Homo-oligomer: A and B are copies of this chain.
């Protein structure tokens, strides 16, 4: 049953079915190599829309796609579900929770995880928003806060249940805050007529002096203005110093009472590579050569969020889908060049631009040297995201959902299913561990 055991073709193990891993695999498909794709999930997640799952705009199944379906037509690719536990670059062996694979080339594309920067209590109490099994519990938690507030007679607790702190003014923080504001001041306002929605506070906390720091300043100002019009409090120059179960501590000693802290404040490479002896750069990412090869470890390549590579100006590439896609493709091409005895190419980022959506008819976009805001940017955002989704069915379902949300001002995906999370749930005492909200 071991794939490729009968052949003598070089074996490429690709770890991670995100953008970088999938694009590497697609480029290797049909070539004279055997490819094994590993992932801890059996599906690819379209991360740019993950915040919409958390904000009850889309269901989980609409932004995820089974890996085996993507690979159906691939002839030289097999998929194994499992988590990498160890890489031995000397012996060229990868170990997973269930087995052991030797490789000629290894592509590490497991991506990034949330970076709490050592802020006290953040890892324990804050909700990260980087993976499907984080977005779904967050949605249920938010909905459960409203359900609990609806019959909470203690006014202080009620205010605390209705205060939502979002840490980090990057695209995820901005998009989630905007989507949460539309959820609250639309459908939830109609669902909970007994609650005074003026008590709801959504506070976006950013340590720097503007949101969307990676975009031109005019777009930052626009985004901030549109968030504030949607009743999101945008607090700039406000680093977070600690998170408790019912409170968040801001720089300068101020505190905010809240049971919901969403942490979009930073990312770092997934754990592992340092222990396996790979050279590390800032943010727990693996330092690679411009060819995406890991120096000193022949046959090991890194692509996507897990790679640390600086551009011509000495800036690291941003952790966005186009970078991951282009790096994944380049790694695959370079592996084929190694096997063909050709010289390697270096990574040069072709920047297609950046976008972020604040809400209905409001988005920002930078494409080439031009910037766009408002309805035009919003339509561009819609078109790009639907076009990039994998699978006709998912595109159709996302369009039906979005059209329905847009026309009806509704959000339908509001079920609270039991879902285990390390945390607690509203209605239980804050310190009490419990099963948390899902669907």
Chain A residues with a Cβ under 8 A of chain B: 1, 41-43, 59-62, 64-66, 68-69, 72, 78, 80-81, 98-99, 132-133, 136, 143, 147, 150-153, 187, 190-192, 194, 391-394, 396-397, 400-401, 404, 408, 410, 412-420, 427, 435, 439
Contacts and interface: CB of A to CB of B under 8 A. Distances in A.
Nearest to A3: B194
Contacts of A1: 150-153, 194
A66 B412 contact: yes
A427 B435 CA distance: 24
A427 B98 contact: yes
Nearest to A190: B72
A384 B384 CA distance: 38
A42 B412 contact: no
18 contacts: A1-B152, A1-B153, A41-B416, A41-B417, A42-B415, A43-B414, A43-B415, A43-B416, A59-B62, A60-B415, A61-B413, A64-B439, A69-B410, A78-B194, A80-B150, A136-B417, A391-B412, A393-B400
A407 to B, nearest CB: 10
A61 B439 contact: yes
Nearest to A65: B412
A155 to B, nearest CB: 10
A143 B42 contact: yes
A81 B147 CA distance: 7
Interface of chain A, main secondary structure? mixed
B419 A420 contact: yes
B98 A414 contact: no
Contacts of A61: 59, 412-413, 415, 439
- Give the 7 A-B residue pairs with the shortest CB-CB distance, closest first: A68-B191, A420-B420, A59-B61, A66-B414, A43-B415, A393-B404, A61-B413
A65 B413 CA distance: 8
B418 A393 contact: no
A202 to B, nearest CB: 20
Nearest to A58: B61
Contacts of A81: 147, 416
Contacts of A143: 42
B133 A417 contact: yes
Contacts of A136: 417
Contact of A42 (B72, B394, B416): B416
A190 to B, nearest CB: 6
A400 B404 contact: no
Contacts of A150: 1, 80
Contact of A419 (B66, B153, B408, B419): B419
A411 to B, nearest CB: 9
B60 A417 contact: yes
A136 B99 CA distance: 28
A191 B435 CA distance: 33
A66 B150 CA distance: 15
Nearest to A131: B417
A167 to B, nearest CB: 25
A400 B400 CA distance: 9
A72 B187 CA distance: 10
A60 B439 contact: yes
Nearest to A152: B1
A424 to B, nearest CB: 15
Nearest to A153: B1
Given A1-B151, A415-B60, A415-B66, A396 B391 contact: no
Nearest to A99: B151
A417 B193 CA distance: 34
B393 A412 contact: yes
Contacts of A43: 414-416, 439
A43 to B, nearest CB: 5
A41 B144 CA distance: 11
